């Protein structure tokens, strides 16, 4: 009979409690992944599409030229960021009695691509993107979308007796003043996120059904034929769903979407923490795990700080969030319904982004 002399009285209870806790962590880790599997796959896949809009978007990479191929068309000399910075500083100092500016210690870098745009005879938008770093270039063609019929009542502004638009604007001003804030001039309708009345309307003459959106704030009316579908390509549809945010002020599918998005984010954080806990219980893998975590942490810090420094190097421009509970139909979503021959181009009707992997020096 084996007798354990070193075991202290009552030490069995904490051990069992720890085992129950670990068992619960493992089960939550497992079943939360099963319950939220569709959302994790969706957000992972749609997030990847932002880097590759040409996969399913209305954009076609027509040609990709290496630096040598570009030079055969027209010689494009490789640019030197430091030389350009030196010349810019010299030009700024021209005309001054004394030297007013000098270069800092950091090296100059060239970010982004040289972008040009035009319209084909067929009315399709074309973008030419030239890399200033290695001289490669690509030509992209943005496919036209099938035009949707315009409703006979579209672009009209309709005032209704049941809603006082001016009174609501005055109320907004009074609420600001009541909060102790001072503003210049009256409150105006926000560009993004406002209340809408969505309903279907039938034209009596031909019995055609329209999906109508009425803006409460300014009384504008927009519509599309109900039988024509949404008219979005796969990329635009997925990216719009991915970027949908805020909780509306009424429960429905839109509210549930935001709830599942929050649940997915919380679950992913939990997966990271619970994964650490489960890894630490396996003593043979602790050393290798510490090495892996250390490498991952250092790489993450380098990538995060480097990317953020690049994004905020120049003057930063911030766009205020859409009104919570409102529907954001502004850019880039609004531009997706426009004819590509109008406004500025972009991937999925946003600004063109070149992938440096397309260029081969």
Summarised one tens digit per residue, pLDDT across range 271-291 is 888 888 888 888 888 888 888
Helix (H), strand (E) at residue 185: none
Alpha carbon separation from 101 to 2, 94, 96, 203 (Å, rounded): 84, 10, 10, 68
Confidence check: pLDDT of 359 > 50: no
Alpha carbon separation from 358 to 10, 79, 332 (Å, rounded): 66, 19, 25
pLDDT for the residue 328: 45
pLDDT for the residue 352: 38
Q: How many Å apart are CA 144 and CA 133, to the nearest integer? A: 31
Q: pLDDT-derived band of residue 319, with 50, 70 and 90 as boundaries?
A: low
127 in helix, strand or coil? strand
Contact between residue 349 and residue 332 where contact means Cβ atoms under 8 Å apart? yes
Ramachandran region of residue 236, left (φ > 0), alpha (ψ -120 to 50) or beta?
alpha
Alpha carbon separation from 53 to 42, 187, 285 (Å, rounded): 15, 38, 40
**Highest mean pLDDT (candidates 136-150, 233-247, 255-269):** 255-269
pLDDT for the residue 332: 38
Alpha carbon 172 to its chain centroid, in Å, reads 30
pLDDT for the residue 353: 39
Confidence check: pLDDT of 5 > 60: no
Question: Distance between terminal CA atoms of the chain?
Answer: 76
pLDDT for the residue 276: 83
Q: What are phi and psi of 178, to 5 degrees?
A: -65, -25
Q: How many Å apart are CA 84 and CA 69, to the nearest integer? A: 25
Contacts with 54 (C-beta within 8 Å, 6 or more apart), sequence order: 60, 61, 140, 347
pLDDT for the residue 19: 79
Average pLDDT over residues 7-25: 72
pLDDT for the residue 301: 92
Torsion of CA 28, 30, 36, 38, to 10 degrees: 180
pLDDT for the residue 298: 93
Domain extent listing, the chain: 18-49+249-282, 52-92+107-145+327-361, 165-230
pLDDT for the residue 275: 85
- Identify how many contiguous H helices and E strands the chain contains and give both numbers: 8, 7
pLDDT for the residue 302: 92
Average pLDDT over residues 52-64: 80
Q: Give pLDDT tens digits for 194-252.
A: 788 889 888 888 888 888 888 887 888 888 888 877 777 788 888 888 888 888 878 88
Q: How many Å apart are CA 64 and CA 140, to the nearest integer? A: 9
Confidence check: pLDDT of 144 > 70: yes
Segment among 36-40, 93-97, 133-137, 242-246 with least mean pLDDT: 93-97
pLDDT for the residue 338: 40
Q: How many Å apart are CA 49 and CA 43, to the nearest integer? A: 10
Confidence check: pLDDT of 138 > 50: yes
Q: What's the pTM value of the predicted model, to 2 decimals?
A: 0.62
Largest CA distance in the chain: 99
pLDDT for the residue 250: 81
Q: Give pLDDT tens digits for 329-357.
A: 443 333 333 433 334 333 333 333 334 34
pLDDT for the residue 342: 39
Contact between residue 352 and residue 127 where contact means Cβ atoms under 8 Å apart? yes
Q: What are phi and psi of 65, to 5 degrees?
A: -115, 135
165 in helix, strand or coil? helix
Contacts with 164 (C-beta within 8 Å, 6 or more apart), sequence order: none
Q: Give pLDDT tens digits for 66-116.
A: 888 888 888 888 788 888 888 888 888 887 777 788 888 888 888 888 889
Confidence check: pLDDT of 8 > 60: no
Q: pLDDT-derived band of residue 183, with 50, 70 and 90 as boundaries?
A: confident
Ramachandran region of residue 200, left (φ > 0), alpha (ψ -120 to 50) or beta?
beta
Contact between residue 270 and residue 31 where contact means Cβ atoms under 8 Å apart? no
Q: How many Å apart are CA 104 and CA 259, to the nearest integer? A: 48
pLDDT for the residue 340: 37
Confidence check: pLDDT of 154 > 90: no
pLDDT for the residue 322: 47
């Amino acid at each position: 009979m084996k007798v354990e002399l070193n075991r202290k009285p009552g030490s069995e209870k904490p051990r069992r409690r720890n085992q129950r806790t670990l068992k619960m962590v493992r089960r939550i880790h497992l079943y939360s992944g099963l319950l939220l599997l569709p959302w994790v796959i969706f957000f992972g896949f749609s997030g990847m599409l932002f880097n590759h809009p040409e996969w399913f978007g209305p954009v076609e990479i027509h040609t990709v030229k290496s630096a040598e191929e570009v030079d055969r068309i027209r010689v494009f000399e490789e640019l030197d960021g430091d030389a350009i910075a030196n010349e810019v500083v010299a030009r700024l100092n021209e005309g001054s009695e004394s030297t007013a500016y000098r270069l800092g210690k950091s090296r100059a870098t060239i970010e982004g691509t040289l972008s040009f745009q035009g319209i084909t005879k067929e009315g399709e938008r074309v973008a030419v993107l030239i890399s200033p770093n290695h001289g490669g270039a690509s030509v992209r063609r943005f496919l036209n979308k099938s035009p949707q019929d315009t409703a006979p009542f579209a672009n009209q502004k309709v005032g209704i007796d049941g809603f006082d638009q001016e009174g609501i604007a005055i109320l907004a001003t009074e609420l600001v003043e009541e909060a102790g804030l001072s503003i210049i001039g009256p409150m105006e309708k926000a560009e993004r996120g406002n209340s809408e009345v969505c309903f279907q309307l039938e034209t009596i003459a031909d019995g055609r059904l329209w999906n109508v959106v009425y803006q409460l704030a300014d009384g504008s009316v927009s519509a599309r034929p109900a039988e024509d579908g949404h008219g979005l390509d796969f990329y635009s549809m997925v990216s719009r769903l991915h970027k949908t945010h805020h909780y509306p002020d009424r429960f429905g599918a839109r509210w549930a979407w935001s709830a599942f998005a929050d649940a997915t984010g919380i679950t992913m954080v939990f997966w990271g923490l619970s994964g650490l806990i489960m890894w630490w219980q396996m003593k043979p893998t602790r050393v290798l795990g510490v090495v892996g975590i250390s490498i991952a942490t250092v790489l993450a810090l380098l990538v995060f700080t480097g990317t953020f420094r690049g994004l905020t190097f120049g003057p930063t421009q911030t766009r205020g969030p859409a009104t919570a509970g409102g529907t954001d139909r502004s850019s880039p979503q609004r531009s997706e319904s426009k004819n590509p021959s109008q406004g500025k181009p972009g991937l999925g009707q946003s600004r063109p982004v070149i992938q440096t992997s397309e260029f081969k020096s």
